[in-house]
Amino acid sequence: EVKLQQSGDELVRPGASVKISCKASGYTFTNYAMYWVKQSPGQGLEWIGTIIPLIDTTSYNQKFKGKATLTADKSSNTAYMELSRLTSEDSAVYYCARPDYWGQGVMVTVSS
Partner 1 sequence: DVVLTQTPPTLLATIGQSVSISCRSSQSLLHSNGNTYLNWLLQRTGQSPQPLIYLVSKLESGVPNRFSGSGSGTDFTLKISGVEAEDLGVYYCMQFTHYPWTFGGGTKLELK
For residues 33 to 72, the per-residue mask of contacts with partner 1, x marking binding by CB under 8 A and - elsewhere, is: --x-x------xxxx--x--------x-xxx---------
Buried b (16+ CB within 10 A) or exposed e, 14-41: eeeebebbbbbeeeebeebbbbbbbeee
From the list 30, 34, 11, the residue with the least C-alpha distance to 21 is: 34
Q: How far is the CB of 77 from partner 1 (least distance, A)?
A: 19
**Can you give the C-alpha Rg of the chain in angstroms?**
13
When the beta carbons of 10 and 46 are compared against partner 1, the nearer one is 46
**Smallest separation, CB 43 to partner 1 (Å):** 9
Where along the sequence are the contacts to partner 1 (CB under 8 A)?
A: 35, 37, 44-47, 50, 59, 61-63, 95, 97, 99-105
